Amino acid sequence: MFSSIDHRGRYAYGNQPAIMQWNLARLAETLLPLIDENSEAAAGAATEVLNGFVGAYERHWDEGMAAKLGLAVPDRELVKDLLELMRAQKVDFTRFFRALSAGTARAMFTQPGPFDAWAARRAAALPADRATVAAAMDRVNPVYVRATHRVEEALAQAALVRWGRSTVSSRWFSRPFDERPGLEGLRRPPPAGGAPYVTYCGT
């Protein structure tokens, strides 16, 4: 969850496209008198545009995930099965895609069997030039993301040194697709058993 008072999951990852479409519908409502003098015609025209959102979003999702996996052609089933597998075995999202291009992803699975089966399906769909595939994957899969625990560590550290100008460095995050020496700590997963992260709007 992304706001600790969001018990119904309104802001959860899987709900974001739907809530986006909902926002678009609210925007469209305010524009109806500008779209057509006839309110029914206006609502019809707006609805047509809004209904296109789901398909367009899915195309973006399919193409985005195909790029992350190095596939030339989107494969929704392959993506769906991978995400289920990662969820079941608690595999870190960011690190997985870099490991996949490096050929070390198998070690991230406690039970590699299902991953092997999935990897064979992917391999069959991959373009022949694997080096080019790996390089292209690394251009779209970040090494570093704004992992919450790392940001909090940075802020705690900054508070200790009088909000030290030098320690809060956006350089950590400015080139997330390039691996750089000295930033290994940013790749660390969150500590196991750490306190749940609590965050609210407007804190």
Of residues 110-139, those binding another protein (CB under 8 A): none
Measured from the CB atom, is 71 or 128 closer to another protein?
Answer: 71
User: By CB under 8 A, is residue 108 in contact with another protein?
Assistant: no
Instruction: Give the one residue of 131, 187, 190, 195 binding another protein; rule: CB under 8 A.
Output: 190
Contact assessment for residue 16 and residue 1, using Cβ atoms and an 8 Å cutoff? no
User: By CB under 8 A, is residue 160 in contact with another protein?
Assistant: no
Contacts of 109 (CB under 8 A, 6+ apart): 85, 89, 91, 115
Measured from the CB atom, is 122 or 173 closer to another protein?
Answer: 173
Contact assessment for residue 161 and residue 167, using Cβ atoms and an 8 Å cutoff? yes
The whole-angstrom separation of Cα 160 and Cα 155 is 9
User: By CB under 8 A, is residue 83 in contact with another protein?
Assistant: yes
The whole-angstrom separation of Cα 30 and Cα 104 is 51
Measured from the CB atom, is 128 or 168 closer to another protein?
Answer: 168
User: By CB under 8 A, is residue 6 in contact with another protein?
Assistant: yes
Note the maximum CA span of the chain: 63
How many chain residues bind another protein (CB under 8 A)? 89
Instruction: Give the one residue of 36, 94, 134, 153 binding another protein; rule: CB under 8 A.
Output: 94
User: By CB under 8 A, is residue 182 in contact with another protein?
Assistant: no
Instruction: Give the one residue of 121, 130, 146, 188 binding another protein; rule: CB under 8 A.
Output: 146
Instruction: Give the one residue of 19, 72, 102, 135 binding another protein; rule: CB under 8 A.
Output: 19
CA 80 to each of CA 61, 75, 190: distance values in angstroms, whole numbers, following the listed order: 11, 9, 25
The whole-angstrom separation of Cα 154 and Cα 160 is 10
